[in-house]
């Protein structure tokens, strides 16, 4: 019987960081999807509805904080849980 793997979207433009995070998550049984920019991350987040999004803060173009605000403003299904962001220094 095949269990559904939890989906994680990693929005990261640094290939070394992406490889490290992807390898660790895949080793723990997660299905990992990747977007190299915040704009692509927004598109994938809305189409994939991942269980978790790991967002880099420093991205080219739209930064990770702006993308996170855009995601939070987007109407989400009732099953999607959102945690407050930690305070930024």
Per residue in 64-88, pLDDT (tens digit) is 999 988 888 877 655 555 555 555 5
Q: What is the DSSP letter of 87?
A: P
Q: Is residue 1 part of a domain?
A: yes
- For residue 8, give the H/E element and its range: strand 7-11
Q: Which residues contact 53 (CB under 8 A, 6 or more apart)?
A: 8, 9, 10, 11, 41, 45, 71
CATH number at residue 56: 3.40.50.2300
Per residue in 18-64, pLDDT (tens digit) is 999 999 999 999 999 999 999 999 999 989 989 999 999 999 899 99
Look up the domain containing 2 and give its range.
1-14+34-74
Q: Is residue 57 part of a domain?
A: yes
In total, how many domains does the chain have? 1
- Cα separation, 51 vs 36, in Å, equals 18
């Amino acid at each position: 019987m095949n269990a559904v793997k939890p989906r994680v979207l990693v929005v990261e433009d640094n290939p070394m960081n992406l490889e490290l995070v992807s390898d660790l998550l895949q080793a723990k049984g997660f299905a990992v999807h990747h977007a190299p920019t915040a704009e692509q991350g927004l598109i994938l987040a809305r189409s994939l509805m991942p269980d978790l999004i790991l967002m880099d803060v420093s991205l080219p173009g739209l930064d990770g904080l702006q993308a996170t605000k855009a995601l939070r403003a987007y109407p989400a299904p009732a099953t999607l849980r959102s945690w407050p962001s930690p305070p930024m220094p």
